Structure 1
Amino acid sequence: MSEDFLRYEKLADELAGMMAGGVLKHGDRLPSVRRLAEERRVSVSTVVQAMRQLENRGLIEARPQSGFYVRRTRMAHAEPLLRTTPDMPLAVDISQRLVRVMQAGVRPGVAPLAAALPASELMPVAALHRLYAGVARRHPDLLCSGSHINMDDPLLVRQLVRRSLAWGGPLAAEEFVITNSCTEALALCLRAVTKPGDTVAVESPAYYLMLQLLEKLGLRALEIPTDPRTGMSVEALDLATRNGGVAACLLVSNGSNPLGSQMPDERKRALAQLTAERGVAVIEDDIYGDLHLAEVRPWPIKAFDTSGNVMLCASFSKSLSPSLRIGYVAAGHRRSAIALQKTISSGATNPITQRVLAEYLESGAYERHLRTLRRCYQSQVDAMSLAVSLHFPPGTRISRPQGGYVLWIELPEGVDTTALYEQAVAANLAYVPGELFSASGMYRNCLRLNCGNPHTPEIEDAVRRLGLLFSSAQIK
């Protein structure tokens, strides 16, 4: 191997690492060939060869009379494939395995690649601290109030109604129930429209906490094929519901977890109409709706619901703080049934936190915060995508999220992410194995990575070491 070869390979790898680490971002102009040659004390031809290699990797592009620029590398790799799913509904059994994975993922020293949690430094913690102090001082009555009748703060409901203008609304204030989280909102909806033994149609792959809810409520999951770009197949849902037997449809239409897909409006409209006609209740998780990676906030399926059949659930755990524990349901014609379930299970949601959130939304700070947060998440998703494309085995497929901040990775056949998980954890690496996103245990060659943290050299190194683990398994 020649010395020149080693030099341009090293330069190409160093520049690629700067892209992966966010030092060089999409659209940035690279230093000129002559400047790089002078600064690195190499020949111009060495720099040119390094640039050609980066072009071949799809990482940079040459612009006439201008130089080399970093490409949006999310478009430079293949996406995961649409999978065929089982025809029959299945009992769910993932809770014990999921708990072990979640516990391992938050162990001290483990790279934060598993749980889909945002970095604390991205959240407006100081502003929320000030609001808590101010609300407690100005409204001491909230410290001693707790009602199982008047559970929802009217000021917060008013802010949610105002926000629903961007969701294709406005929605009626009477539809809303404030909950302790989005997970509680989903559970309340499921309890209101199903009984043990019923079948619920879910995306495949599906968010594992949704599957865990089905397991705990004694419900069966019917996996519906889900496209990495356009979401749940309405055609497959049509076939699955023709003969009845499906009580509800549980899905994420905007920025689905784990694929990051976004269902086009025409498909949302078709799904809303189909399910209403067939008496299939729709429970829509829109927790990532505000975290879209496009210019305009996408409408939820709820926007196309004309019969009150869609229950829209969300929270602020991914955008403000997981510790707030504030979610909500816009429940359509099932509002009374869901409010009753809420009264029985947990009563009113913390009144002080409800008022803090209401005041934060009213101030306009949330929209300003979201604009910054979406840019951060976009950059972090791009950096993680680039790192995976650099370090994972050839043939790896990577999702192109349209919302949220997780990546779905499909490794070559023969790489079993469940079998390799213990080795990863022993090396202080963690991820969520793909089979936890399926009631039938599909996706054993897949995994989900969290991009909620700034892409530091430590995270880059963790992705590199994961890539080595998967590559060595593929060789064996």
Structure 2
Amino acid sequence: MENELLRYERLAEDLSGIIVTGNLRPGERLPSVRRLSRERRLSVSTVLQALRQLEDRGLVEARPQSGYFVRHAPARLAQPNVRSTPEEAVPVDVSQRLMRVLQTGIKPGVAPLGAALPSSTLLPLAALQRLYGGVVRRHPQLLEGGSHINIDEAALVRQLVLRSVGWAGPLAAREFVITNSCTEALAVCLRAVTSPGDTVAVESPAYYLMLQLLEILGLKALEIPTDPRTGVSIEALDLATREGQVAACLLVPNASNPLGSIMPDEHKQRLARLTAERGVAVIEDDIYGDLYFGDTPPRTIKAFDKAGNVMLCSSFSKCLSPALRIGFVAAGRYRRQVALQKTVTSGGTNPVTQQVLAEYLESGSYDRHMRGLRRAYAHQVEAMRAAVARHFPPATRITQPQGGFVLWVELPEKVDTTALYDRAIAAGVAYVPGELFSASGMYRNCLRLNCGNPHTPEIEDAVRRLGALMAS
């Protein structure tokens, strides 16, 4: 018998999705308990459990003798402001503070609103486990040894080439280098095109892991103003690269972390042309590219690259399993340098996992899984936005992400999210303070929330506690 907990949570997620997407408007009546019980083949108690969960989230209300009605209106809070950024590049120093935040954020009993990790309940773990067993039986030679020369499994490269038709292409098989995660992909690209002391242009706010990489490699960060809807400012990037002082750009144009913005195609095309003309390498992180909320997948900067100047990096950590540790680079004209950096850093990426991923992609399971996952993330992000709107102080601003599963929150200027962090952990809630997304220490009144988990009553209560703390 299917676990009753999973059954009522699935019904609650389905109903919340109908509500947050506007298909049921505030004041409208939900289907009756008996109808839901009959159509979903669930017990009445299971249906009531799901509806009570929606009540706890503030999405519905029970009216005596009448049934359940939609209470939730989609969050309409203003978007965060675009900030002016320092004109000079600065060294990066975030790692120690960031590691402390990430470590405390996974303590038992702390609501997981910090690190951007998906809930295991959303991932196809059973299917991957079965594939591992089958691959080891059918390809025992993959366990016989590793290689520092032959680092890419042909079966996986073939699947990436096929998938690249939708991203950029198609891309040539010779461009690809398989890596241990997207993080390693970004790192080997940086090492391939920069030297210590060089300047790298980044979005502002920028994903903290990118800032860590710059710090470790002795690189300076030049923060470029970034719009929460359209991404990095092309005009500001144009000005920043005129004097030849920028060695590379490190960007997340699709469902950026932490803003969730998607750069318009026109901007991507201008950026690709501008950087190629000025000899500025582009390292494009597309890890959230498949997690778009619209009807069509966004194109990459790589799609507009005519000079082989863009290195497209990604992985399957956010959609299949963070434990796979499989990423890749489509490295363009930098392929030889990137492959050399990968070879001397870690040799070949696990061939068994490469084959598992190749077979999963070939089976068609990935596309079916992603359709459901995109809906789940969209619902969870909207539910989190609504919770922030309910519980955070007046004048709070929140992003309206176009993909991914993180939310950026801008609080009134007097709020210092770094100073309040320890109190939040003591109250059982994690988040990432905004200043860790800036090399120059900006965004102290901001924070990022992880929306990778179903929006349960426990998550709703954690947002309530956090909002009360921010208002104190």
Same fold, TM-score > 0.5, yes or no = yes
Which residue number in structure 1 is paired with residue 291 of structure 2? Answer: 291
**1:137 Cα offset (Å):** 0.6
Tell me the distance in 1 between the aligned counterparts of 2:381 and 2:364.
26
Corresponding position: 1:113 with 2:109: no
**1:148 Cα offset (Å):** 1.2
Tell me the distance in 2 between the aligned counterparts of 1:319 and 1:398.
24
**1:69 Cα offset (Å):** 6.2
Tell me the distance in 2 between the aligned counterparts of 1:398 and 1:436.
18
> Do the aligned partners of residues 20 and 408 (structure 1) sit closer, same or farther apart at CA in structure 2, a change above 3 Å counting?
farther
Report matched runs for 1:88-167 at 5 Å: 88-167=88-167
Which residue number in structure 1 is paired with residue 414 of structure 2? Answer: 414
Question: Would the aligned equivalents of 2:259 and 2:407 in 1 still touch at CA under 8 Å?
Answer: yes
Q: Give 5+ residue unaligned stretches, structure 2.
A: 1-11, 33-57, 62-67
**1:426 Cα offset (Å):** 1.0
Report matched runs for 1:18-417 at 5 Å: 24-26=19-21, 27-28=23-24, 73-74=74-75, 76-417=76-417
Tell me the distance in 2 between the aligned counterparts of 1:92 and 1:273.
28
Which residue number in structure 1 is paired with residue 444 of structure 2? Answer: 444
> Do the aligned partners of residues 31 and 73 (structure 1) sit closer, same or farther apart at CA in structure 2, a change above 3 Å counting?
closer
**1:29 Cα offset (Å):** 5.3
Tell me the distance in 2 between the aligned counterparts of 1:219 and 1:302.
24
**1:149 Cα offset (Å):** 1.2
SS of 1:290's equivalent? coil
Matched letter for residue 28 of structure 1: L
Q: How well do the aligned residues superpose, as a CA RMSD in angstroms?
A: 2.4
SS of 1:73's equivalent? coil
Question: Would the aligned equivalents of 1:19 and 1:386 in 2 still touch at CA under 8 Å?
Answer: no
CA shift digits 1:42-66 (9 cap, x unpaired): xxxxxxxxxxxxxxx9999xxxxxx
> Do the aligned partners of residues 20 and 258 (structure 1) sit closer, same or farther apart at CA in structure 2, a change above 3 Å counting?
farther
SS of 1:449's equivalent? strand
Tell me the distance in 2 between the aligned counterparts of 1:451 and 1:97.
22
Tell me the distance in 1 between the aligned counterparts of 2:350 and 2:156.
12
Which residue number in structure 2 is paired with residue 53 of structure 1? Answer: none
SS of 2:409's equivalent? strand
Question: Would the aligned equivalents of 2:16 and 2:379 in 1 still touch at CA under 8 Å?
Answer: no
> Do the aligned partners of residues 470 and 173 (structure 1) sit closer, same or farther apart at CA in structure 2, a change above 3 Å counting?
same
> Do the aligned partners of residues 33 and 323 (structure 1) sit closer, same or farther apart at CA in structure 2, a change above 3 Å counting?
closer
Tell me the distance in 1 between the aligned counterparts of 2:317 and 2:235.
33
> Do the aligned partners of residues 70 and 336 (structure 1) sit closer, same or farther apart at CA in structure 2, a change above 3 Å counting?
farther
Question: Would the aligned equivalents of 1:20 and 1:384 in 2 still touch at CA under 8 Å?
Answer: no
Corresponding position: 1:433 with 2:427: no
Question: Would the aligned equivalents of 2:25 and 2:73 in 1 still touch at CA under 8 Å?
Answer: no
> Do the aligned partners of residues 139 and 334 (structure 1) sit closer, same or farther apart at CA in structure 2, a change above 3 Å counting?
same
CA shift digits 1:209-238 (9 cap, x unpaired): 000000000000000000000000010000
CA shift digits 1:166-224 (9 cap, x unpaired): 11300000000000000000000000000000000000000000000000000000000
Question: Would the aligned equivalents of 2:142 and 2:351 in 1 still touch at CA under 8 Å?
Answer: yes
> Do the aligned partners of residues 281 and 445 (structure 1) sit closer, same or farther apart at CA in structure 2, a change above 3 Å counting?
same
> Do the aligned partners of residues 308 and 83 (structure 1) sit closer, same or farther apart at CA in structure 2, a change above 3 Å counting?
same
Tell me the distance in 2 between the aligned counterparts of 1:31 and 1:311.
50
Tell me the distance in 1 between the aligned counterparts of 2:258 and 2:236.
20
Matched letter for residue 396 of structure 1: T
CA shift digits 1:368-413 (9 cap, x unpaired): 0000000000000000000000000000000011110000000011
Tell me the distance in 2 between the aligned counterparts of 1:141 and 1:271.
44
Matched letter for residue 439 of structure 2: A
Matched letter for residue 227 of structure 1: D
> Do the aligned partners of residues 334 and 28 (structure 1) sit closer, same or farther apart at CA in structure 2, a change above 3 Å counting?
same
Question: Would the aligned equivalents of 2:16 and 2:59 in 1 still touch at CA under 8 Å?
Answer: no
SS of 2:328's equivalent? strand
SS of 1:93's equivalent? coil
SS of 2:246's equivalent? coil
SS of 2:187's equivalent? helix
SS of 1:389's equivalent? helix
Tell me the distance in 2 between the aligned counterparts of 1:406 and 1:365.
25
Tell me the distance in 1 between the aligned counterparts of 2:305 and 2:211.
25
Question: Would the aligned equivalents of 2:18 and 2:24 in 1 still touch at CA under 8 Å?
Answer: no
Tell me the distance in 1 between the aligned counterparts of 2:60 and 2:87.
41
**1:28 Cα offset (Å):** 2.3
Matched letter for residue 376 of structure 1: A
CA shift digits 1:3-49 (9 cap, x unpaired): xxxxxxxxxxxxxx99997695432256768999xxxxxxxxxxxxx
Compute the TM-score of the two structures, normalised by the length of structure 1: 0.87
CA shift digits 1:424-472 (9 cap, x unpaired): 0111111000000000000000000000000000000000000000011
Which residue number in structure 2 is paired with residue 64 of structure 1? Answer: none
> Do the aligned partners of residues 34 and 164 (structure 1) sit closer, same or farther apart at CA in structure 2, a change above 3 Å counting?
closer
Tell me the distance in 1 between the aligned counterparts of 2:397 and 2:366.
35
Q: How many residues align?
A: 429
Tell me the distance in 1 between the aligned counterparts of 2:93 and 2:234.
26
Which residue number in structure 2 is paired with residue 46 of structure 1? Answer: none
Matched letter for residue 267 of structure 1: H
CA shift digits 1:74-118 (9 cap, x unpaired): 5x1100000000000000000000000000111111001000000
Matched letter for residue 147 of structure 1: S
Question: Would the aligned equivalents of 2:30 and 2:69 in 1 still touch at CA under 8 Å?
Answer: no
